[in-house]
Amino acid sequence: MEKGILVVAFAGTGKTSCAKKYDNVYDFDHLLYKYSYPKEVIENKTFEELKGLTQIRTKEPNWPENYFAELPKYLEKYNIVLIPSDGDIMDYLDKNNQEYLLCYPTIQSKEIYIKRYQNRGTHQKWIDKMDQNFEENIASLQKRKTQKVVLNQNETLEDKLKEMKMI
């Protein structure tokens, strides 16, 4: 089986929605690899709610190696594996000369993305942090030395992957 394509995509671009629509696309999130939460919290909170609960989580000691130990099995099984644009993840990929396609919105799309985070039920603390750092986050992605795809206003990751004839 041919190895899948790795797509690193910014929060809110539509990774989860895209993966739910296509059998050959997998959304490989990092949250539960990067952090540990008390069992009762995991059982009573949605995935989106977990993102802002920084005071009750602890960083996994094996991060990011634990995440990358799992990645190959998804790259073997799926044509496209979608992962978040976490700095640790991209640094690890760059350090290990792993090719990836980086997808992120324009800075002018900030309000659209803040609304997307609110609509999907993301924890308000996380949204506030993203609101404060949106421009800086996009600027740091623009500096990455990899193939990039920029989403305009209301475009989604799915739109671009279709345009590129990847799905």
- Among 6-10, 20-24, 54-58, 138-142, the range scoring the smallest mean pLDDT is 54-58
Q: What is the mean pLDDT of residues 155-166?
A: 96
Q: What is the pLDDT of residue 53?
A: 80
CATH number, domain containing residue 144: 3.40.50
Q: Any idea what DSSP says for residue 96?
A: T
For 3, 77, 111, the CA distances from 71, given in Å and listed in that order, are 11, 10, 32
Q: How many domains does the chain have?
A: 1
Burial class (CB in 10 A: 0-12, 13-18, 19+), 103: buried
Average pLDDT (140-167) is 95
Q: 30-40: per-residue pLDDT in tens? A: 999 999 999 99
How many alpha carbons fall within 13 Å on the CB side of residue 66?
Answer: 13
**pTM, whole model, 2 decimals?**
0.90
Query: Which residue(s) pair with 101 in the sheet?
Result: 7, 147
Average pLDDT, the chain: 93
What range defines the domain where residue 18 resides? Answer: 5-163
